[in-house]
Amino acid sequence: MKKQIFIFSVLFLALISLNFKNDTNNKKSNIDKKVKKLLSEMTLDEKIGQMTQVDMLAFADPQDVEKYFIGSVLSGGGSDPKDITAKGWADNYDMFQSFALKTRLKIPMIYGIDAVHGNNNIDGAVVFPHNIGLGATKNAKLIKEASRIIALEIAGTGVDWAFAPCVAVGRNEKWGRTYESFSEDPTLVSILGKATVEGLQTKSLSDPTAILACAKHFLGDGGTTNGKDQGNTVVDNETLRKIHLPGYIKAIEANVGSVMVSYSSWNGVKNHGNKYLITDLLKKELGFKGFVVSDWAGIDQLPGNFKSDIEQSINAGMDMVMIPNGPKQPNNYVEFINDLKELVNEGKVPMSRIDDAVSRILKIKFAMNLFNNPYTDKALTKEVGSQEHRKVARQCVKESVVLLKNDGILPLKKDVKSLYITGSGADNLGRQCGGWTIEWQGKEGTVMSGGTTLLQAVKETVSKDTRVTYSADGNGAAGSEFAIVVVAEKPYAEMFGDTSNIVLSKEDIAVINSVKESKVPFVVVLYSGRPVIITDLIDKCNAFAAAWLPGTEGKGVTDVLFGDYNPTGKLPVSWPKNMEQIPINVGDKDYSPLFPFGFGLNYTK
């Protein structure tokens, strides 16, 4: 009897899984049929429109979506509608979509945004730690959960597509985008990148809250000489694959629907025109079935004029071109459309290439059910910035804090009599969030509504009898039982963050020195997008915590400082002793950083 039940169960399970497989296969072939049919009805203009992605601020008129059959709209860093609340964004989305739906074939546009640590362009959204902080958590499950929340906050604004995850493997801290990289370790990057894709896209792109993910920037962006942004990565093919490719392999395993090409070059050749990388490696060898998008005016950097940029790049395998008011042409998108049409008519870009690009884009639009569900689900709009969402971000923050030094002063007592707080980051939400927050470069001070600075978080944590005093300049520690010094990098993004000298500002160093002179024991909390050279400073304090760029939920940091959470954060990068050591990465010969990759103290020992 038992045996029969067993055989029956096995058969039953096999049937279910067969059915499931058939289901997915059916879905796929249904979509392929729809794509084929639609493609056969399209004119060349309509096809080229699908391949055109225009920044919302670059439109001469939003009606051009209808006029030129524009397939995609984006908001680059800081290209925002006037009303930047979630509702304002949703209305903006619906407005663009309404023009797309007025076209003959009613193909919906797909809207992309740099939601790289939360839906960070939206006032009141929850801002999560930047990737380097998430790297310190090493917690793929948590990052998947966080990405799900981020997807909900994106869906609440109508937007369909996040230009995330950045699966760059940052190998040189001079690079201004170091914080967009989870780690210097390719394996950690690939695990956390995959988790991000799974969270954003969820089980199926057809889920109404699924957000299309975009693995970027293909390939080798984190490996440029001297950490120069948009620079040149000089490595052989084997090293390129070993260090920079695993993130894409895993993202493709998770069915990532789009990939963005890097501004950078590989051995002197710009990736935006590199057919070997885009077509042979990504599409053929790795079997990537989604679509490839260029970076912001990225094709403009190819040698030649705008028309030859288009030719090279589309023929290399680019499916969609991201078009701002680029450096070579104002009103680029009209130019792009005209030039690409000419190129096809001149036989310089084969029709088969256009059809491949458009099929890939349409496939994603069908898979996302955009045709049936083109507008914002306003029920989700209200959830943007909710307490439930903030909880998950706070969890990410507490797991991201890496304790580098502790002479026993930590955890602080909540019923301490008096506490002094100081430093440029203590009451500065903008520095706590870093770049890509409301504005491309981020902003000082109250960058958005909602959120908790460390000063506010401390006040909400200590006992009601504790006297908390604050000044930004470091004068006023004397007489207090403890001090918390929050030093911080100024916000920056991309090439504006490139530097040959990763140090604290004179003001922050002065603050540390004056608190030291007051003889009050103190902990330093660092807000930064990368390890800062602290070799001469770390001896001065009683404890030191690297909190990266934690985002809006400052309470995650106080959870660690006051012992509600026993720190688990581990360095996702090697912490150099001095600038001369950079680049320094785990596995190097003669590896002797200030703190090694994986380092992080807790309160147990």
Nearest residue (CB) to ligand BGC, 272 versus 394: 272
* 535 DSSP assignment: T
Closest separation in Å from C-beta 200 to ligand BGC: 14
Closest separation in Å from C-beta 218 to ligand BGC: 11
580 is catalytic: no
Residue 182 interacts with ligand BGC (CB under 6 A): yes or no = no
What is the rounded distance in angstroms from the CA atom of residue 147 to the CA atom of residue 164? 10
Asked if 176 and 502 touch (Cβ cutoff 8 Å), the reply is no
Asked if 251 and 215 touch (Cβ cutoff 8 Å), the reply is yes
**In this chain, which of 78, 88, 124, 450 binds ligand BGC, going by CB under 6 A?**
78
Minimal CB distance to ligand BGC: which residue? Answer: 76
Residue 77 interacts with ligand BGC (CB under 6 A): yes or no = yes
Query: At a CB cut-off of 8 Å and minimum separation 6, what does 91 contact?
Result: 81, 83
Residue 295 interacts with ligand BGC (CB under 6 A): yes or no = yes
494 is catalytic: yes
Closest separation in Å from C-beta 304 to ligand BGC: 20
Instruction: For residue 266, list its beta bridge partners.
Output: 233, 269
* 465 DSSP assignment: T
Asked if 189 and 182 touch (Cβ cutoff 8 Å), the reply is yes
Q: Which of residues 376-415 bind ligand BGC (CB under 6 A)?
A: none
Closest separation in Å from C-beta 158 to ligand BGC: 18
Closest separation in Å from C-beta 199 to ligand BGC: 18
Total residues contacting ligand BGC (rule CB under 6 A)?
11
Angle (deg, nearest 10), helices 306-316 and 351-367: 70
Select the span of 70-78, 236-244, 313-321, 593-601 touching ligand BGC (CB under 6 A).
70-78
Closest separation in Å from C-beta 440 to ligand BGC: 4
Residue 296 interacts with ligand BGC (CB under 6 A): yes or no = yes
The sign of the dihedral angle between the CA atoms of 556, 560, 566, 570 is positive
Q: What angle do CA 265, 237, 356 make, to 5 degrees?
A: 65
Give burial (CB, 10 Å; 0-12/13-18/19+) of 303.
Answer: exposed
Closest separation in Å from C-beta 122 to ligand BGC: 15
Query: At a CB cut-off of 8 Å and minimum separation 6, what does 186 contact?
Result: 169, 242, 243, 244, 245, 246, 247
Q: What DSSP string runs through 276-334? A: IIIIIIIIIIS---SEEE--TTGGGGSSS-HHHHHHHHHHHT--BEEESS-SS-TTHHH
Instruction: For residue 113, list its beta bridge partners.
Output: 75, 162
Residue 88 interacts with ligand BGC (CB under 6 A): yes or no = no
Beta strands in 72-190 (DSSP E): 72-75, 110-113, 161-162
Q: Which residue in 184, 221, 494, 559 is the catalytic one? A: 494
Residue 521 interacts with ligand BGC (CB under 6 A): yes or no = no
Select the span of 71-79, 191-199, 242-250, 264-272 touching ligand BGC (CB under 6 A).
71-79
Residue 79 interacts with ligand BGC (CB under 6 A): yes or no = yes
Nearest residue (CB) to ligand BGC, 179 versus 366: 179
Select the span of 77-85, 341-349, 511-519, 577-585 touching ligand BGC (CB under 6 A).
77-85
Q: What x/- string results for residues 488 through 517 when contact with ligand BGC is judged by CB under 6 A?
A: ------x-----------------------
Q: Which of residues 97-136 bind ligand BGC (CB under 6 A)?
A: 114
Q: What x/- string results for residues 417 through 456 when contact with ligand BGC is judged by CB under 6 A?
A: -----------------------x----------------
> Quick one: tokens of 182?
């989870």
Binding-site ranges for ligand BGC (CB under 6 A):
76-79, 114, 163, 216, 295-296, 440, 494
Which are the catalytic amino acids? 295, 494
